[in-house]
Structure 1
Amino acid sequence: MSKAAAIDIASVTKVYGSTTAVHAISLKIPAGSYCCLLGPSGCGKSTTLRMIAGHESISDGDVRLGNQVVTDLPPARRGTSMMFQSYALFPHLDVTDNVAFSLKMKGVAREERRRRALEMLQLVHMEPYASRRPAQLSGGQQQRVALARALITDPQALLLDEPLSALDPFLKVKMRAELKRLQASLGITFVHVTHSQEEAMALADVIVVMNAGRIEQAAAPRDVFERPATAFVARFMGDHNVISGRLAGSDERGVSIAPAGGGLFSAIGAPQDADAPIDIAVRTDRVRIGPASAPGLGFTGVVENVEYRGSSVKLTVAGAGVDDFTAIVSDTDFFAAPVKVGDAAPLAWNREDAIVLGRLAS
């Protein structure tokens, strides 16, 4: 295989008419890493992937693959290969000829290209299906064929546009493991677009969270999960409550904020601008039912919803100027002192489980 290449996106912008889809983003993806571009629909992640691939022109900025600026190169000369969401297999060709198609376009002799195609099919465990047509394959099998076809060009980076979206939940989990295995064994750079937080957490070395054409955070999965950079990341990843308010006080341990509807909350960190609203995040799985150990580390609210999840119970509580506050408590703790909808429930957490969030410059 080709040597893996780092990808350097330098102040890349994409404009469609009067709409800016991607706002001057900069990102370095290390060689040989598995990078997931994560975000809601319309955030610019697929546009970014297509600009790396050369399937979308760049309005401003540059893309570098390894030591080469590829901004103006056609897709076939970039050293990348793209696997599309639809798989785009040719229905009239068998699996082997589908995989070998790009080699045929390059003029590689039939015997050689079929030999290399069978090697690729072996890599993705599809050699027993080499003579079948795409219509005779399941969705997961079609995806493996599309992967083999993308890899046969010996790319330095493989680009995947929501490759698991068409699969059922069980198969998604299975194919996640397969993608991780392939990336580790081949050692090439993978850039994978997804809107699934679970998928990104399971696969990535680097998660890039995008929103409205901008990068909100680019970090290792654990950092994104435990220390979200912004309120958007905290909300999108779904593992933190976000509380907004005005600065009520600060010391060497952190800040206190006051939401508009009352209440007072403490968090570790310093605000970017003491005169602006401040966002803090509280881990949902670190919240417990019970009185706070210190002021600012809990509140009493009204239970609005209770969801039993087997090993845990999800509570939604409102109060102290906070709406839709989520607590994920263990089933043991919950049933030791259960609460129901309409009850007043005290919630509490430790100081280290509440952090000050940053804000993107507008």
Structure 2
Amino acid sequence: MSKAAAIDIASVSKVYGATTAVHAISLKVPAGSYCCLLGPSGCGKSTTLRMIAGHESISSGDIRLGNTVVTDLPPARRGTAMMFQSYALFPHIDVTDNVAFSLKMKGVAKDERRAKALEMLKLVQMDPYATRRPAQLSGGQQQRVALARALITDPEALLLDEPLSALDPFLKIRMRAELKRLQTTLGITFVHVTHSQEEAMALADLIVVMNDGRIEQAAHPREVFERPATAFVARFMGDHNVISGRVTAATESGVTVAVPSGGEFTATGGVREVGESIDIAVRTDKVRIGASDAPGLGFTGIVDNIEYRGASVKLTVSGAGVQDFTAIVSDAAFFAAPVKVGDAASLAWGPEDSIVLGRLDS
């Protein structure tokens, strides 16, 4: 297998007529890493992947793969391989010939290309199905064949466009483990587009959260989870409450924020001016039921919804000018002092669990 290559995206834009799909993004994907482009539909993640692959032209900027600027190279000369959302297998030929097809196009002799195809099928644990046609395979098996077909060209980077979206939930989890195993075994760079936060967290060394054609944050999953860069990331990842207001007091260690017609909250980090608009985030799993130890680190509100989840209970509470505030508490903590919808409940958290969020320059 060929050496992994780093991918360097430098001020890359994609414009369709009057619409800008990708706004001058810059990103470095280290060689041999598993990168997930994550975001809602229409955020520009698939367009970015297709520009890396060469299936979409670049309006401005450059893409470098290893030491080569590939901006104007055709897909076949980039050192990348693409696995599409629809596996696009040829129905009339067997699995081995499907995998070997790109080598056939390059003029590789039949015995040699079929031997290489079998080697790839072994890698994805599909060699027992080598003589079957695609219609005789399940969705998960077809996906493995599509993976083998992409990998047979010895790419320096494998590009995957929502590869798990067509699979059922149990198979998704199995295939996540398989993709991670393959990436670790091969050591090549993977760039994987998904709209699933769980999928990105499970797979990636580098998560790139995109919104409206821009990169909101590019970091290790733990950093994205624990320190979201912006209100969008905090909301999209779903593990933080976002509170918006104005700064009423600021020190080197943090700020006090007033919510319109509501309470005051404190948060750590970020030097801000008094009067400035600000977003702060509070971790949902760090909120506890009970009175606050310090001002600004809790509030009392009315319980809007309760979801029992087995090991945890999810509460939604509104009060102090904050709507739909989420707390995820352990089942033991909840049933020690249970509340019901319509009850007043006090919520509290620690100072380290309330952070100041940044804002993208637009």
Tell me the TM-score normalized by structure 2: 0.99
Distance in 1, Cα, partners of 2:250 & 2:269: 9
Q: Please state how far the C-alpha of 1:156 moved relative to its aligned partner.
A: 0.2
Hey, what does 2:28 align to over in structure 1? 28
> What SS does structure 2 have at the residue aligned with 1:306?
strand
Q: Please state how far the C-alpha of 1:276 moved relative to its aligned partner.
A: 3.4
> What SS does structure 1 have at the residue aligned with 2:282?
strand
Hey, what does 1:185 align to over in structure 2? 185
Q: Please state how far the C-alpha of 1:312 moved relative to its aligned partner.
A: 0.3
Hey, what does 1:284 align to over in structure 2? 284
> What SS does structure 1 have at the residue aligned with 2:154?
coil
Residues 271/323 of structure 1: CA separation in 2 closer, same or farther (3 Å cut): farther
Q: 1:1-362 alignment to 2 at 5 Å?
A: 1-271=1-271, 274-362=274-362
Partner AA of 2:37 in structure 1: L
Distance in 2, Cα, partners of 1:252 & 1:113: 64
Is the 1:261–1:322 contact (alpha carbons within 8 Å) kept by the matching residues of 2?
A: no
Distance in 2, Cα, partners of 1:72 & 1:149: 24
Is the 2:264–2:296 contact (alpha carbons within 8 Å) kept by the matching residues of 1?
A: yes
Q: Deviations over 1:280-301 (max 9, x none)?
A: 0000000000000000000000
> What SS does structure 2 have at the residue aligned with 1:71?
coil
Q: Deviations over 1:24-45 (max 9, x none)?
A: 0000000000000000000000
Q: Deviations over 1:95-127 (max 9, x none)?
A: 000000000000000000000000000000000
Partner AA of 1:97 in structure 2: D
Alpha-carbon RMSD: 0.7
Is the 1:271–1:358 contact (alpha carbons within 8 Å) kept by the matching residues of 2?
A: no
Q: Please state how far the C-alpha of 1:262 moved relative to its aligned partner.
A: 1.3
Q: Please state how far the C-alpha of 1:252 moved relative to its aligned partner.
A: 2.9
Distance in 2, Cα, partners of 1:253 & 1:210: 30
What is the aligned-residue identity percentage?
A: 82
Distance in 1, Cα, partners of 2:210 & 2:276: 23
Is the 1:281–1:357 contact (alpha carbons within 8 Å) kept by the matching residues of 2?
A: yes
Is the 2:247–2:273 contact (alpha carbons within 8 Å) kept by the matching residues of 1?
A: no
* Pairs aligned (count): 362
Q: Deviations over 1:261-318 (max 9, x none)?
A: 2100000012456543100000000000000000000000000000000000000000
Is the 1:245–1:278 contact (alpha carbons within 8 Å) kept by the matching residues of 2?
A: yes
Distance in 1, Cα, partners of 2:25 & 2:131: 44
> What SS does structure 2 have at the residue aligned with 1:223?
helix
Distance in 2, Cα, partners of 1:24 & 1:290: 47
Q: Please state how far the C-alpha of 1:175 moved relative to its aligned partner.
A: 0.2
Distance in 2, Cα, partners of 1:92 & 1:261: 67
> What SS does structure 2 have at the residue aligned with 1:255?
strand
Distance in 1, Cα, partners of 2:250 & 2:271: 9
Partner AA of 1:61 in structure 2: G
Q: Deviations over 1:152-171 (max 9, x none)?
A: 00000000000000000000
Distance in 2, Cα, partners of 1:286 & 1:252: 24
Is the 1:272–1:358 contact (alpha carbons within 8 Å) kept by the matching residues of 2?
A: no
Partner AA of 1:261 in structure 2: S
Distance in 2, Cα, partners of 1:261 & 1:305: 23
Distance in 1, Cα, partners of 2:315 & 2:126: 46
Distance in 2, Cα, partners of 1:74 & 1:308: 53
Partner AA of 1:316 in structure 2: T
Partner AA of 2:277 in structure 1: P
> What SS does structure 1 have at the residue aligned with 2:104?
helix
> What SS does structure 1 have at the residue aligned with 2:358?
coil
> What SS does structure 2 have at the residue aligned with 1:184?
helix
Residues 70/175 of structure 1: CA separation in 2 closer, same or farther (3 Å cut): same
Which stretches of structure 1, 4 residues or longer, exceed 6 Å deviation after superposition?
none
Residues 327/112 of structure 1: CA separation in 2 closer, same or farther (3 Å cut): same
Distance in 1, Cα, partners of 2:271 & 2:311: 36
> What SS does structure 2 have at the residue aligned with 1:166?
coil
Is the 2:251–2:271 contact (alpha carbons within 8 Å) kept by the matching residues of 1?
A: no
